[in-house]
């Protein structure tokens, strides 16, 4: 670009206004990220990367139905160099989101040329409340933000290719689609979106004639896009078959499926797309959802109706843009969500993350509905197409006021969403864990227990155990002690405050003691056995209370496990902890009856002896409080 042209572009008031708007939106997103922190699946990504090797099997594994090798690579990279560093993780996503905003501005400029009206769709996308929850939750951002960037770039380079027939732009469009596919399953539908937008806005004639012309003029390009779609579909199905069947698509149940369709399509999207919901509810550990009051939903639909009718009055072709939007919502957002989550998660019906990418498509379709592309203006100039109605001053003023109202509502919704986050609590928890791991006792068993529910939800099973979730923060030796805990006479666990404290058998453990009046449990030549219902897993510990004048050997048997242990001498109140991960319905203890007196035995999970700060507890004990 010549220096004079570059200088003129820098001084362009439309461009400067758009860049100022994007800068303000980025600042608002920084405010959001300051209130957020790692939560839920974020911990699972770090833990999974820590436990795995960087291999194709790891990169192409499914995470709760998501095929996302690009996201898993980023998680592995950050686990290796910056584990649980919030501003590295959030900063990368913020940079990609900023690139998507700038790319969207460039796309609009390419489609419609320089005009003040571009500020309306830029405002819609830059401040969209629908995109806020996915940015504030790192694991969701790993899927959603690269998809938005890939979508924008694929559209931009597709437009350039169709206008110039320069094969370099076709290649870059394919790369953009492939980039998005590395992060999000929804990207498999990008070829369909590119074709739909091109037919609706770039090729002349009715939809059928435009589709035929697209195939006739650019058959190799659209064929390559079809190949990308087919190849990704085959890969995803192959990865599903390679799994255990618990991840990926499934047959939805009618009740949850209909709740999702109704909630996402008729409530969450219209409310969030138009600046709502103002107040977020219900509030989950990952932030607020959209379960708006009836009047908010009705107002949103009324505004939506006015927008659509106004566009149809101004431009006859506007219906094409709204058809693209509806098709995108149904095919790309609703159907995949129902297939993936429609078996058990009705809460997804209020989750804006599932339609976050539609905010970008809505802003683009709004522009296509109201603004003629360069192709349309060129055809109108030579009489091949009837020009649309020219908006009057009143229409422009109304559009400006409506955009300002949207911006105010969107900013308010973003600020109130930040209030639903508990980033300070989660950061405090991890900082406490870091300090605790710096002072781990050299001896003693580091046993596993569930991390708090606001860190990782209960339904994640053994993936929410401290030995798995917190291991990326530990040095290699300590991480090994956490994942494969040793037998010991001392037990430690992380309490819900993140402190490493002494542990005891939990209240829901099986506990067996001697008969009334006896000091020792009666045995049959050293054999003791009890019926149990042991569920197994990393947190399961057998605790033996005993006295013995000399060291003695015992054996613990449960299910398929047979574990030998050597009890040190203990004149009184000896305790020995034995990790036993097997499932079983009978616990047996083999001892030398003349060498040891077993006073009690328990099996179950471990619990902290102190909740909160153990040093505060010590002070309370010393002061008699």
Helices 318-328 and 294-314: crossing angle, nearest 10°?
140
Strands 445-446 and 491-494: parallel
What's the rounded Cα separation, in Å, for the pair 608 and 436? Answer: 14
In the predicted model, is pLDDT for residue 7 greater than 80?
A: no
Across the range 110-125, mean pLDDT stands at 96
Across the range 461-475, mean pLDDT stands at 93
**In 389-474, where does DSSP find H-type helix?**
393-419, 423-438, 466-469
Distance between start and end Cα atoms, the chain = 76
Q: What is the model's pLDDT at position 385?
A: 62
**In 165-260, where does DSSP find H-type helix?**
167-181, 190-201, 207-217, 219-242, 254-260
Instruction: Please count the other Cβ atoms lying within 10 Å of the Cβ belonging to residue 457.
Output: 17
Position 346 confidence tier, pLDDT thresholds 50, 70, 90: low
Residue 18's SS3 state is helix
Across the range 432-440, mean pLDDT stands at 95
Residue 551's SS3 state is coil
The answer to whether the bond into 287 is cis (omega within 30° of 0) is no
Which residue carries 């009836």 as its tokens? 294
Residue 584: strand pairing partners: 534
In the predicted model, is pLDDT for residue 620 greater than 60?
A: no
Q: What is the model's pLDDT at position 458?
A: 84
283 HSE (CA, 13 A, CB side): 10
Q: What is the model's pLDDT at position 398?
A: 87
Average model confidence (pLDDT) for the chain? 91
Position 337 confidence tier, pLDDT thresholds 50, 70, 90: confident
Instruction: Please count the other Cβ atoms lying within 10 Å of the Cβ belonging to residue 108.
Output: 27
In the predicted model, is pLDDT for residue 119 greater than 80?
A: yes
What's the rounded Cα separation, in Å, for the pair 301 and 260? Answer: 18
Q: What is the model's pLDDT at position 619?
A: 43
Torsion of CA 105, 111, 116, 121, to 10 degrees: -60
Q: What is the model's pLDDT at position 625?
A: 38
Across the range 86-114, mean pLDDT stands at 97
Largest interatomic CA distance in the chain: 108
Of residues 492 and 205, the one with the higher pLDDT is 492
What's the rounded Cα separation, in Å, for the pair 118 and 14? Answer: 8
Task: Name the strand (E) or helix (H) holding 327.
Answer: helix 318-328
Per residue in 511-521, is it b (16+ CB within 10 Å) or e — as a string?
ebeeeeeeebb
Of residues 374 and 126, the one with the higher pLDDT is 126
Distances (CA, A) of 361 to 74, 110, 275: 26, 16, 15
List Cβ neighbours of 459 (8 Å cut-off, separation of 6 or more).
none
Return the closest-CA partner of residue 122 out of 322, 477, 319, 364. 364
Q: Phi/psi zone of residue 84: left (φ > 0), alpha (ψ -120 to 50 degrees), beta?
A: left
Q: What is the model's pLDDT at position 367?
A: 97
Contact 144, 184 (CB under 8 A): yes
State pLDDT tens for residues 349-371.
889 999 999 999 999 999 999 99
Across the range 172-194, mean pLDDT stands at 97
In the predicted model, is pLDDT for residue 235 greater than 80?
A: yes
Which residue carries 């639903």 as its tokens? 420
Percent of the chain at pLDDT > 70 equals: 92
State pLDDT tens for residues 221-231.
999 999 999 99
Supply the DSSP symbol for 569: P
Structure tokens of 458?
Answer: 């209960």
Q: How much is the pTM?
A: 0.91
Structure tokens of 536?
Answer: 């197994």
State pLDDT tens for residues 43-81.
999 999 999 999 999 999 988 888 999 999 999 999 999
């Amino acid at each position: 670009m010549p220096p004079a042209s570059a200088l003129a572009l820098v001084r362009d008031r439309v461009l400067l206004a758009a860049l100022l708007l994007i800068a303000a939106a980025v600042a608002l997103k920084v405010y959001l990220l300051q209130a957020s922190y790692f939560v839920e699946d974020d911990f699972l990504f770090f833990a999974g990367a820590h436990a795995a090797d960087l291999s194709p099997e790891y990169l192409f594994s499914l995470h709760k139905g998501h095929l996302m090798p690009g996201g898993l690579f980023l998680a592995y990279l950050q686990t290796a160099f910056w584990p649980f560093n919030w501003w590295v993780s959030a900063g990368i996503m913020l940079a990609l989101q900023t690139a998507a905003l700038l790319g969207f501005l460039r796309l609009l400029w390419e489609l419609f040329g320089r005009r003040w009206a571009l500020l309306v769709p830029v405002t819609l996308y830059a401040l969209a409340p629908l995109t806020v929850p996915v940015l504030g939750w790192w694991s969701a951002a790993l899927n959603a933000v690269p998809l938005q960037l890939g979508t924008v770039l694929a559209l931009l380079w597709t437009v350039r290719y169709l206008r110039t027939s320069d094969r370099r732009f076709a290649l870059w469009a394919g790369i953009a689609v492939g980039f998005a596919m590395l992060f999000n399953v929804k990207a498999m539908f990008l070829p369909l979106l590119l074709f739909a937008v091109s037919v609706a806005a770039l090729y002349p004639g009715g939809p059928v004639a435009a589709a035929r012309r697209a195939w006739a003029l650019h058959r190799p390009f659209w064929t390559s896009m079809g190949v990308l779609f087919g190849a990704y579909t085959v890969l995803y199905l192959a990865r599903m078959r390679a799994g255990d069947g618990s991840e990926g698509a499934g047959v939805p149940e009618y009740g949850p499926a209909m709740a999702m369709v109704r909630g996402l399509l008729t409530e969450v999207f219209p409310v969030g797309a138009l600046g709502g919901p103002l107040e977020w509810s219900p509030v989950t550990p990952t932030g607020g959802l959209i379960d708006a009051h009836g009047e908010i939903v009705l107002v949103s639909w009324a505004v939506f109706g006015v927008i659509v009718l106004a566009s149809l009055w101004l431009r006859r072709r506007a219906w094409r843009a709204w058809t693209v939007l509806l098709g995108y919502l149904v095919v790309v957002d609703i159907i995949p969500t129902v297939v993936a989550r429609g078996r058990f998660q009705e809460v997804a019906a209020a989750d804006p993350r599932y339609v976050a990418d539609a905010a970008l498509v809505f802003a683009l379709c709004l522009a296509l509905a109201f603004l003629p592309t360069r192709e349309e203006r060129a055809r109108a100039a030579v009489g091949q197409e009837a020009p649309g109605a020219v908006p009057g001053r009143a229409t422009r003023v109304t559009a400006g006021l409506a955009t300002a109202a949207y911006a105010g509502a969107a900013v308010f919704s973003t600020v109130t969403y930040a209030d639903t986050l508990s980033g300070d609590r989660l950061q405090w928890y991890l900082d406490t864990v870091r300090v605790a791991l710096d002072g781990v006792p050299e001896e003693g068993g580091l046993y596993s227990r569930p991390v708090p529910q606001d860190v990782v939800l209960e339904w994640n099973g053994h993936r929410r155990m401290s030995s798995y979730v917190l291991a990326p923060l530990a040095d290699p030796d300590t991480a090994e002690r956490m994942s494969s805990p040793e037998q010991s006479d001392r037990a430690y666990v992380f309490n819900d405050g993140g402190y490493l404290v002494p542990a005891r058998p939990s209240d829901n453990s099986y506990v067996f003691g001697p008969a009334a009046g006896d000091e020792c449990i009666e045995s049959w030549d050293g054999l003791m056995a009890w019926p149990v219902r042991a569920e197994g897993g990393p947190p399961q510990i057998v605790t033996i209370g005993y006295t013995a004048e000399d060291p003695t050997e015992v054996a613990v048997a449960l299910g398929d496990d047979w574990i030998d242990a050597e009890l040190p001498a203990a004149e009184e109140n000896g305790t020995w902890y034995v990790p036993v991960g097997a499932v079983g319905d009978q616990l047996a203890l083999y001892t030398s009856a003349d060498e040891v007196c077993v006073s009690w035995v328990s099996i179950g999970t471990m619990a902290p002896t102190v909740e909160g700060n153990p040093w505060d507890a010590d002070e309370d004990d010393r002061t008699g409080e």
